[in-house]
Structure 1
Amino acid sequence: MSSVDIPAPAHSGRANWTEVTPQALYDKLQTLARNLWWSWHPEVGNLFRDLDPVRWRQLDHNPISLLAEMTPEQVAERASEMVMYTRINQAHRRLNEYLTDTRDTWGAREAGVLGSRPVAYFSAEFGMHESVPIYSGGLGVLSGDHVKSASGLGIPLVAIGLFYDQGYFRQQLDGDGYQQEEYVDTKVAAQPMEPATGPEGEPITVSIDTREGKLMAKVWLMRVGRVKLYLMDCDVEGNRPEDRELTSRLYGGDHRTRIRQELVLGVGGVKALSALGIKPGCYHLNEGHSAFAPLEVIRERMTNDGLSFDDALREVAQCTAFTTHTPVPAGHDRFDAALIEEHIGPLRDAVGISHEQLMGLGRVEPQNDQETFCMTVIGLKLSRRANAVSSLHGYVSRRMWATLWPWRVEEEVPIGHITNGVHVPSWLAYPMRQVYDKLLGTDWPGKMGDSQIWQSIYDVDPGELWETHHALKSRCLDFVRRRLSRQCRRRSEDEASVEAARASLDPSALTIGFARRFATYKRADLFLNKLDEIADLVNNHDRPVQFVFSGKAHPADEPGKKFIKRIANLRHDPRFAGRIVFIEDYDINVARHMVQGVDVWLNNPRRPLEASGTSGMKVVLNGGLNCSILDGWWAEAYNGKNGFAIGHGAHHTDDAVTDERDAENLFNVLRDEVVPTFYDRDADGLPHHWIEMMIESIATLAARFSAHRMVQDYVKHCYLPAAGGLSSDMSVR
């Protein structure tokens, strides 16, 4: 390969750029693209964007797809034009240093025995980046943030999931505003993964026995910083045609599809770890989807160590942690006895228990033949450390599952809580990062879980903070307008509609964002109960308000789809045209723009059904304020000065009464608190009280609700005790 003639930048101090070959440069970019470390380092992501900004956007910010369209010579030519060589080499060096130098990490100092026996973290979905579509929403994004923070902290952890080659659906709204689902094949070659190999370098395939025959899954490796994520994929020769499609779609299919996916995740995941030679010190089951895993570990212990079933169960439960994420009954998978016997029967035979004993493990009342098998129940029974994901959710979960421990009073039910957090580098806008660098010191990311670090935000210049937020807001609204105009063109609407979309939303108006899964209990339509009053707010000449909505409803959730249709069609109402908008196809990219740019994040679930919620935590980092029902994380975050509360934390026994009362409270807080505070300006146009609330929000919440703090809590209260490193009481967080 010939070298390319590249003049050294005057500031670089280097004289040997002429020795760099296009292939060497291309290989460095490939190395960066194949580790998702780049996804939380915007300066590295910008390297790929600068190669071709248009294609970067069109390819959903996928660096592997982008590089596949370019030759090494084209990359070198573009890098020369953009003076990118120093940046590429620096990024490549930083990645190598990050991967190899782990001595000065929190994990190196605090993780103890996990160094020889890592954590095995199981989850049905992982939301790492929009270019890796193996997630649907909050659970997956939380899992992704968990893994990224484990990497940053240097925690010895491997992750296990499923590779969905069609992922979750892409959402489009038809001319009537009704959600349409489209599934798109994900090309393996366009993903940052490779076949996982065993000790002898052989590709790993696992085999799982069922009553209907063997179920096979190959194993992929995806690198997420220092963490390895292993993904099971059933599209392999030897499987029946229907089984080759088993892992095609996330949360698709019937109960039989679901149990087979969960069999592959749990039992197949443990088999994959064994084939890889990994001996975990702790198994962390993130929700009930992976709760079959301990049964396979029990079988291994019985086979390898000669333990009885009861002794193996006792030891495996001791090293298993279980996290429950939902207080909504429909969120807990249940299967009938026939499905359980078909899929777990061979494993039941191997561990020597009866069908009744197996069913009893998944029942609240073991002897009740009418009760189905619940994955949350077996997860709780086969673990000795269980947690909810917020303080209020812990209270709800102890009440919900108290009958599993009838000899205990409710307060002593062994379900604690570790409140969720978000991966700060993934969600923090770069301009806000610059503000923090100046105030907190450039080394603050390594200490982001320390609340003391964030107290320097009180010294910020109010004008600088406000201007930074306003710039982010303008960027967010530009993104929204592009999406809206594209939606109009896709529906073949007239040019007037396209132009109206381009002109929608006012950067100076109070902008409220709402984006999440459109489950009915999240009540995306709550504000519609006061639609005439909301119209008055939206159209106030001096103090206008505008709303940006986004989110998907599960394909089988007709009420959720009706919520979307009703909100999306407000664009046809002259009172709301250009002021209330709906963005299609909610994903990590849409979420990132919204949480970085809105003034207020609205969250109004029916209390106490929001287990935690994390989107509002992302808004905090970027200077936005929360306006929320006192549910989930906000119930323990709100202090009266760092945002707005809808109501007083009470709910009626009649949901209709609760909804009516909350709608009234929502309108009142918008009219009487949010709007006046936002528009109360000084002579320079600064809303000083609003800015004080922004500062208070960052100072009191950024550290508490970071994923670094969350993962540190899991290490101290779950992982180390499970691995025999120390003991801890989880009930007091």
Structure 2
Amino acid sequence: MSRAEAAAPSVERANWTEVTPETLYAKLTTVARNLWWSWHPEVVSLFRDLDPVRWRQLDHNPIALLSEMTPQQVADRANEMVLYTRINQAHRRLKDYLSNTTHTWGARHAGVLGAKPVAYFSAEFGIHECVPIYSGGLGVLSGDHIKSASALGVPLVAIGLFYDQGYFRQHLDGDGYQQEEYVDTRVENLPMEPAVGKDGEPITVTIDTRDGKLLAKVWLMRVGRINLYLLDCDVEGNSPQDRQLTSRLYGGDRRTRIRQEMVLGVGGVKALKALAIDAGVYHLNEGHSAFAPLEVIREVMEHDGLSFDDALREVAQKTTFTTHTPVPAGHDRFEADLIEEHLGPLRDSLGISHDQLMGLGRVEPQNEQETFCMTVIGLKLSRKANAVSSLHGQVSRRMWAHLWPWRVEEEVPIGHITNGVHVASWLAQPMRQLYDKILPADWGYRQGEDEAWQNIYNVDPGELWETHNALKSRLLEFVRRRMSRQCRRRNEDESRIEAARNVLDPSALTIGFARRFATYKRADLFLRQLDAIAELINDVNRPVQFIFSGKAHPADEGGKSFIKRIANLRNDPKFAGRIVFLEDYDINVARHLVQGVDVWLNNPRRPLEASGTSGMKAVLNGGLNCSILDGWWAEAYNGQNGFAIGNGTQHVDDNITDARDAEDLFNVLRDEVIPLYYDRDTDGLPHKWIEFMIDSIVTLAARFSAHRMVIDYVRHSYVPAAGGLSSDMAAR
């Protein structure tokens, strides 16, 4: 050890003597209790260094980790690992971040929202794996939305539900069949606290129904500058059944679902009132929260003496609605008796008849055979509505054109704001360090601007390739660890466990597929060309390998059968070690996959993919997309920033479409993807492939960032809804 190296710890110890263990512990706790830390890798690594083993075992939960340590143990570890300066810096950075509200993009461009913020409603929020109140893409999108709103300084509060059992944990049995397990979450290990009113007392809201009152307490979770309020029905005064109402995400029958949506929508608006938050805009992220405007209308009628029709017009002007699915089954519908049971008291307050209320949720208001649709009422009670990609906008206008029979389809008032992803949450630290070297110093603040990414053209191809391969090696290490753990849990023999420790080849083309295993996403499409795919996988000179992950809804037997077929390929010698299925897909698994694969595969049945965001995350890390021209990829693909499966058409017969797409998938892998990947120079560099990587980053990173998405919402939805002027009318 050099004299300089020996001196460094002594400086740290000198600083350490000025701070008590309790003060140091308090600083770490403050940082842990704001989820800001989750998208700052240097802060994540700080918590990891306290105890790397327990950090992994505790799902990267800093509050759980600190709860197992005393202040003195933290102090000892900080002294040992020279962490004092890093702890102090993290605490100071968070404090500075929270206090800087006047020099943000939002302060300059969304001033009209300052006094009356956006109220953003969503049934789920995927912020980090240690906060399990999400199931998949919708929740992760909501989480990315509020993270970018925080970074941009957009005045916004978020409203959701607290699920103390979250979504299920997934395990596969010995036959490859999905098993679901629900685990109670320890509230004390989550970064949340009771929300309090002006009187300092915890808030509980009451929702009236025909069969009694529903109570919900309100929690506060801090996500950077954004306050996320979560309603929880586990309250004294509720029946035992209702105390379990918000326990599970997307669980239970229709009655459970409508009661959850009453709590989210009606209860959420009541929570805002109890918090003295006067929202200027209500953003309904999907139909789950579409009861919210009805409660706002009731408040306006009570406060201003307006009629129902006049109050509806006023509330609709400041409501924006986002629809996320072109799949009919994805739109919640309820029978008339359930609507009356739950909305009857609110209907009485609104002074409207049962038929009038039902008409708000019907495409044909007078059709008594039609059920009440949450998407329909969301569209009727908002004046700004958008789909989540350009193609999805076309599909949505066609799907809901009957709501505006006097308009031609092109004039149906549903625009589109294409989804995006929060760059800081999904970008791997080694790639971030590479970007920091070549991009403008302020690129992180300008990540939604195309110009901020242009210097990627100046990257050294070898350095980009080496960085990507380092991330790929990290992914394979993660996969092997997970696979061997899966084998041990199933009590498989040692040979199986040893094989799991050695799955996949670092030098082989690695293709990732991970998402919700809904049948229309066709995870099994490659099985239609299985023998041909086997030849590609076992090519000695140009091998290919696949990593799959994802959950099927507990009631989706079709999706479960897809998982079983793919997972059981490990028993076939032709695929053993080359096709793996990772259990329990979550944000952590997703992060490793999008950061490490060579190719991100997406092959839904067009046009049923509204947007898709996982491929956007792969872009940030140098992965190339190979996808059906659906959702976001239909507007992203330019011929040299990835690969297209098919030509963007579909047959009226799904079987023909599936057969055709399976053949196209095989052809594009054989004729385009594999040759490009293995075309190397004498140094082993695939120059043409790297050119595709660079073009993908330059053309897509800004366009599909959550910063750009939130800016679009502010300009085209939030500011106009709050009474300001839109820069243009791109989103109607």
**Which TM-score band (shorter chain)?**
over 0.9
Amino acid at match of 1:128: I
Q: Report the equivalent of 1:617.
A: 616
Partner-residue secondary structure (3-state), 1:446: coil
* Deviation string, structure 1 residues 244-267 (Cα, Å, up to 9, x no partner): 000000000000000000000000
* TM-score of the pair, normalised by structure 2: 0.98
Tell me, what secondary structure is at the counterpart of 1:447?
Answer: coil
Q: Which amino acid aligns with 2:624?
A: L
The secondary structure found in structure 1 opposite 2:347 is: helix
Which residue of the partner structure matches residue 414 of structure 2? Answer: 415
1:349 corresponds in structure 2 to 348
Q: Which residue of 2 aligns with 1:241?
A: 240
Amino acid at match of 1:653: V
Residues 528-579 of structure 1 deviation map (CA, whole Å, 9 limit, x = unaligned) = 0000000000000000000000000000000000000000000000000000
Alpha-carbon offset, residue 218 of structure 1: 0.1
Match in the other structure for 1:631: 630
CA distance in 1, matches of 2:204, 2:269: 12
Give the match for residue 429 of structure 1.
428
Residue type matched to 1:68 in 2? S
Tell me the distance in 2 between the aligned counterparts of 1:611 and 1:101. Answer: 36
8 Å contact from structure 2 (residues 195, 219) kept in 1: yes
Q: For each residue in 1:196-237, what CA deviation from the matched residue of structure 2 results, as whole angstroms up to 9, or x when unmatched? A: 000111100000000000000000000000000000000000
Q: Secondary structure of the equivalent of 1:47?
A: helix
Once the two structures are superposed, the pairs formed by residues 201-216 of structure 1 within 5 Å of their partners are 201-216=200-215
Deviation at 1:112, TM superposition (A): 1.6
Cα distance in 2 between the residues matched to 1:528 and 1:655: 16
Partner secondary structure for residue 181 of structure 1: strand
Cα RMSD (Å)? 1.1
Q: Which residue of 1 aligns with 2:384?
A: 385
Q: Deviations over 1:138-161 (max 9, x none)?
A: 000000000000000000000000
| CA 304–209 in structure 1, closer or farther in 2 if over 3 Å, else same | same
Q: Secondary structure at the match of 2:444?
A: helix
Contact 1:416 1:730 in 2 (8 A): no
Shift of 1:726: 1.3
Aligned residues of 1:282 and 1:319 also touching (Cα < 8 A) = yes
1:261 is aligned with what amino acid?
Answer: Q
Letter paired with 2:632: W
Task: Give the equivalent residue in structure 2 for 1:542.
Answer: 541
> Helix, strand or coil: the match of 2:386?
strand
**1:453 correspondence with 2:452:** yes
The answer as to whether partners of 1:415 and 1:731 remain within 8 angstroms in 2 is no
Q: 1:297/1:77 Cα in 2 relative to 1: closer, same or farther (>3 Å)?
A: same
Q: Which residue of 1 aligns with 2:472?
A: 473
**Match of 2:654?**
655
Deviation digits for residues 269-308 of structure 1 (CA, Å, limit 9, x no counterpart): 0000000000011000000000000000000000011010
5+ residue gaps, structure 1? 1-5
8 Å CA contact 2:386, 2:731 repeated in 1: no
SS in 1 for 2:222: strand
* 1:468-500 deviation digits (Å, cap 9, x = unpaired): 000000000100000000000000000000000
The within-5 A match list for 1:592-607 is 592-607=591-606
Corresponding residue for 1:108?
107
CA shift, 1:17, in A, is 3.0
Deviations, residues 351-407 of structure 1 (Å, cap 9, x unaligned): 100000000000000000000000000000000000000000000000000000000
Q: Shift of the alpha carbon at 1:104?
A: 1.6
Please list, as runs of the form range in 1=range in 2, the aligned pairs for 1:479-498 lying within 5 A after superposition: 479-498=478-497
Q: Which runs of structure 2 are paired with 1:90-101 in the superposition (5 Å)? A: 90-101=89-100
The equivalent of 1:329 in structure 2 is: 328
* Equivalent in the alignment of 2:3: none
Q: Is the 8 A contact 1:721 1:728 kept in 2?
A: no
**Does 2:529 match 1:530?**
yes
- Equivalences for residues 256-295 of structure 1 within 5 A: 256-295=255-294
Are 1:402 and 2:401 an aligned pair?
yes
3-state SS, counterpart of residue 116 of structure 1: coil
Q: How far did residue 443 of structure 1 move?
A: 2.0
Distance 2:556 2:186 in 1: 28
- Equivalences, count: 727
* Matches of 2:550 and 2:449, distance apart in 1: 33
Segments of 4+ moved more than 6 angstroms: none
Any conservation in 2 of the 1:570–1:580 contact (CA below 8 Å)?
yes
1:125-136 to 2 correspondences below 5 Å:
125-136=124-135
Where 1:452 maps in the other structure, the secondary structure is helix
> 1:297 corresponds to which residue?
296
Please tell me the residue identity of whatever aligns with 1:43: E
Q: SS in structure 1 opposite 2:17?
A: helix
Letter in 2 for 1:542: N
Q: Is the 8 A contact 1:620 1:702 kept in 2?
A: yes
Which residue is 1:148 aligned to?
147
- Per-residue CA shift, 1:306-341, capped at 9, x if unaligned? 010000000000000000000000000000000000
Aligned counterparts of 1:127 and 1:502: Cα–Cα separation in 2: 30
1:89: which partner in 2?
88
Contact 1:7–1:17 at 8 Å: present in 2 too?
no
For residues 537 and 655 of structure 1, the distance between their equivalents in structure 2, rounded to whole angstroms, comes to 26
The verdict on how the C-alpha distance between 1:34 and 1:711 changes in structure 2, with shifts beyond 3 A counting, is same
Check conservation: 2:16, 2:79, Cα contact below 8 A.
no
TM-score by length of 1: 0.98
Query: Contact 2:503/2:577 (CA < 8 Å) preserved in 1?
Result: yes
Does the Cα contact within 8 Å between 1:8 and 1:17 map onto a contact in 2?
A: no
Identity across matched positions, percent: 81
Tell me by how many angstroms 1:103 deviates. Answer: 1.9
Note the residue ranges of structure 2 that are not aligned, 5 or more in a row. Answer: 1-5
Q: Contact (CA 8 Å) 1:417, 1:730: kept in 2 or not?
A: no
Task: Tell me, in whole angstroms, the C-alpha distance in 1 between the residues paired with 2:613 and 2:444.
Answer: 19
Structure 1 partner of 2:511: 512
Aligned to 2:439: 440
CA contact (8 A) 2:220 2:228 kept: yes
In structure 2, the partner of 1:170 is 169
Preserved CA contact (<8 Å) 2:717 2:731: no
Q: Distance in 2 between matches of 1:359 and 1:244?
A: 28
SS in 2 for 1:628: strand
Structure 1 counterpart of 2:666, one-letter code: F
TM-superposed CA distance for 1:11, in Å, is 6.9
How far off its partner does 1:8 sit? Answer: 6.9
Residues of 1 paired with 2:10 and 2:638: CA distance?
Answer: 52
Q: How does 1:304-315 map to 2 (within 5 A)?
A: 304-315=303-314
Alpha-carbon deviation of 1:702? 0.2
Residue 343 of structure 2 aligns to a residue in which SS?
Answer: helix
- Give the Cα separation in 1 of the matches to 2:299 and 2:153: 29
Q: CA deviation at 1:15?
A: 5.1
CA contact (8 A) 1:47 1:84 kept: yes
Q: Does the residue aligned with 2:119 lie in a helix, a strand or coil?
A: strand
Contact 1:393–1:632 (CA under 8 A) maintained in structure 2: yes
Task: Report the Cα offset of residue 442 of structure 1.
Answer: 3.3
Structure 2 CA distance for aligned equivalents of residues 354 and 536 of structure 1: 65
Q: 1:11 to 1:436 in 2, by over 3 A?
A: farther
Q: Kindly state the Cα deviation for residue 16 of structure 1 after the two structures are TM-superposed.
A: 4.2
**Is 2:65 the partner of 1:66?**
yes
Following superposition, the deviation at residue 728 of structure 1 comes to 5.8
Query: Does the aligned pair in 1 maintain the 2:517–2:563 contact within 8 Å?
Result: yes
Structure 2: distance between partners of 1:607 and 1:65: 43
Is the contact made by 1:601 and 1:619 (CA closer than 8 Å) also made in structure 2?
A: yes
In structure 1, the partner of 2:574 is 575
**3-state SS in 2 of match to 1:537:** helix
Contact map agreement 1:7 1:18 (CA 8 A) in 2: no
Query: Alpha-carbon deviation of 1:727?
Result: 3.9
Amino acid at match of 2:259: R
Aligned-pair CA distance for 1:725? 1.2
CA distance 1:707–1:328, change in 2 (3 Å) = same
**Residue matched to 2:683:** 684
1:441 to partner: Cα distance = 2.9
